[in-house]
A and B are shown apart, each in its own frame.
Chain A
Amino acid sequence: MRLGVDAVGVTELMGVTEHARAMSTVAGALGLDGEGQPLVRPVDPAAADASAGPMLSEIQEWHRAATGKLDVPVLWRILARNPYYLEATWRKEQALMGDGALSARDKRRTALGVAMAVRGRYMIEQHGAILRHAGDIDADVLEVLGVVDHYTTLNTLSDAMQIESDIRPG
């Protein structure tokens, strides 16, 4: 690791990475990357009971501030079928993706890169909408993609050539 960030920053980065990868897996598994019906029916926020309703309202408020859109994203509405799953995942999203040792915007760009790397269409759109609302332009999105593209190249080569790591911490 030669990032120039401390152990807290590296841990935050890895948290964002695993969270972004997991969310892309969840979205894909639910069928949100395609055009068909999702695997699990979303909860209607207006009809949600007390176990999920307040949290969906909280998510709606966050989504409005983050993207300017008024709806509750369908992924969260599906997780609301299990309020424990919804709460634990939403609290993790909040804990990991806000400002910390790394800025919220850098984390979101990183999450977009992970979603691109695993080709998770739904989460690419979600991260992209948040970054656009924060002011990112086409050049910024393409810069994220360029890094994803180049490192997918280098990852493929290093695996195929079976080279040993010679980049030491420091």
Chain B
Amino acid sequence: MTTIPLPDPASAIGKVREIFDAVLARERRVFGATSVSNIWRCMGHSPALLEANWNRSRALMQRGRFTPLQRELIATAVSAANSCHY
């Protein structure tokens, strides 16, 4: 049971729709996703939060000197250390 209902990506409009489309395009390419993942959907009621974190995701996870795998190793370890099962 989520804290609040997650928005349906299919009915999103404007900035949220634009970012959900970009998220899905990336997730489809990276791990074969067929729908926007819940971590991004859960921000969809606040376009400002969604946009700020998507911009940070692009800056921190898609640009830099490391390979995507190197970044993903650190991300997974941090999530485990934070006891986050998502």
Q: Is the CB of B76 within 8 A of A13?
A: yes
Number of interface residues of A (CB under 8 A): 48
Contact of A17 among B59, B61, B72, B81 (CB under 8 A): B81
* Interface of chain B: mostly helix, strand, loop or mixed: helix
Q: Is the CB of A167 within 8 A of B78?
A: no
Q: Is the CB of A149 within 8 A of B60?
A: yes
Tell whether A46 is near chain B: CB-to-CB under 8 Å.
no
Q: Mark A111-123, 1 if CB is under 8 A from B, else 0.
A: 1011011100000
Within 8 A of A (CB), among B31-46: 31-33, 35, 37-39, 41-43
Residue of A nearest to B68 (CB): A4
Distance in Å from the Cβ of A99 to the closest Cβ of chain B?
Answer: 14
Contact of B31 among A2, A5, A14, A161 (CB under 8 A): A2
List the B side residues contacting A166 at CB < 8 Å. 35, 37-38
Give the docked Cα–Cα distance between A164 and B79 (Å). 15
Number of interface residues of B (CB under 8 A): 42
Tell whether A91 is near chain B: CB-to-CB under 8 Å.
no
List the A side residues contacting B57 at CB < 8 Å. 150
Within 8 A of B (CB), among A119-170: 139-140, 143-144, 146-155, 157-167, 170
Q: How many A-B residue pairs have CB under 8 A?
A: 135
Contact of A144 among B69, B74, B79 (CB under 8 A): B74
Q: Is the CB of B81 within 8 A of A114?
A: yes
List the B side residues contacting A17 at CB < 8 Å. 76-77, 80-81
Give the docked Cα–Cα distance between A148 and B30 (Å). 20
Give the docked Cα–Cα distance between A21 and B35 (Å). 34
Give the docked Cα–Cα distance between A116 and B1 (Å). 31
Q: Give the 7 A-B CB pairs with smallest separation, nearest first.
A: A155-B84, A158-B86, A146-B60, A113-B74, A161-B42, A163-B38, A2-B31
Residues of B within 8 A of A (CB): 1-4, 6, 30-33, 35, 37-39, 41-43, 53, 56-57, 59-61, 64-66, 69-82, 84-86
